[in-house]
């Protein structure tokens, strides 16, 4: 009987264990965030729209571009149009929908460490960026094959692996900036509008104001990310990309994390 009581005492959770339960791993949180991004009506339709835009670019390439210019390299560039334009919006929604639908109370009650939620959201966004990059490459290969069968495509089938890696890097950067803008503004329309308007405004100023052209070469992501579309990227190109991302990605991400961790949940 004494042994049974000892076993029951050992098996019973201590008060400290009840107050500090084991935290779920980041991988599990990322899967939860991935499901949140894909099981809402807005998320599903946005994913469908991204896929449709990527596929719709193939007929455009086949019938509007000369056959010798229809290389697999160019097909992949065209097939990533929907991913580049619309996937960052999903990154914005991953954050702002928590506040608009008032699910933050549940999220932050179950996982009090808000920084872990941020990591999970970013990881889930990166998973989607990887998936859609792969979808874009497959779409481009199928489009190039159809062009070959129809006799409309005569360009090269060459696709360097480093170029695919650059396409993936661009998708990851774009969707992460979307998450960062969502955390900074925490309002869906405002975050989406500013995500598109601010870079365009800065590009316009850099092209029209002579004194800003030098700075725009280092701070305009529309310029610095163009280097990733080239076959070779110089050290200066990487430096320019790093400086521009420090302004458009790192600073908003840091500011967004600070605001997210301090904002009162209602």
pLDDT (tens digit, 0 to 9) for every residue of the chain, 266 residues total?
444 434 444 455 555 444 555 678 889 989 999 998 888 888 889 999 999 999 999 999 888 888 888 888 889 989 998 888 999 999 999 899 888 777 777 888 788 888 999 999 999 999 999 999 999 999 999 999 998 898 888 888 888 888 899 999 999 999 999 999 999 998 999 999 999 999 888 888 888 888 888 888 888 888 888 888 777 778 888 999 999 999 999 999 999 999 988 888 76
**How many other C-beta atoms are found inside a 10 Å radius of the C-beta of residue 167?**
24
Give kind and range of the element (H or E) at residue 183: helix 161-185
pTM, two decimals, is 0.86
What pLDDT is recorded for position 20? 53
Under 8 Å between Cβ of 137 and 164: yes
What value does the CA radius of gyration of the chain take, rounded to a whole number of Å? Answer: 23
> How many helices and strands, by DSSP H and E, does the chain display?
14, 0
Give the N- to C-terminal CA distance of the chain in Å, as an integer: 51
Cα 116 to Cα 124: distance, rounded to the nearest angstrom: 12
What pLDDT is recorded for position 21? 57
Q: How far is CA 135 from the centre of its chain?
A: 15
Domain boundaries, the chain: 23-262
Angle at 132 between CA 129 and CA 134, to 5 degrees: 110
């Amino acid at each position: 009987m004494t042994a049974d009581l000892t076993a029951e005492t050992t098996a019973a959770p201590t008060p400290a264990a009840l107050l500090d339960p084991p935290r779920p791993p980041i991988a599990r949180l990322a899967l939860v965030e991935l499901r949140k991004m894909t099981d809402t009506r807005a998320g599903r339709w946005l994913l469908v729209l991204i896929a449709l835009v990527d596929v719709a670019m193939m007929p455009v390439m086949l019938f509007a571009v000369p056959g010798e210019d229809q290389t697999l390299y160019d097909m992949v560039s065209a097939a990533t149009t929907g991913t580049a334009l619309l996937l960052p919006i999903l990154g914005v929604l991953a954050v702002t929908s928590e506040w608009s639908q008032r699910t933050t109370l549940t999220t932050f009650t179950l996982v009090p460490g808000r920084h872990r939620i941020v990591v999970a959201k970013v990881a889930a966004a990166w998973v989607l960026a990887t998936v859609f990059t792969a979808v874009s490459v497959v779409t481009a290969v199928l489009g190039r094959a159809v062009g070959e069968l129809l006799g409309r495509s005569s360009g090269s089938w060459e696709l360097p692996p480093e170029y695919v890696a650059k396409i993936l890097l661009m998708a990851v950067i774009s969707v992460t900036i979307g998450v960062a803008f969502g955390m900074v503004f925490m309002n869906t329309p405002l975050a989406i509008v500013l995500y598109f308007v601010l870079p365009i405004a800065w590009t316009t100023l850099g092209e029209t104001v002579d004194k800003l052209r030098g700075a725009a070469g280092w701070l305009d992501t529309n310029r610095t990310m163009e280097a990733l579309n080239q076959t070779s990227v110089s050290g200066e190109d990487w430096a320019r990309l790093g400086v521009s991302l420090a302004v458009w990605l790192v600073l908003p991400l840091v500011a967004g994390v600070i605001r997210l961790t301090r904002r009162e949940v209602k």
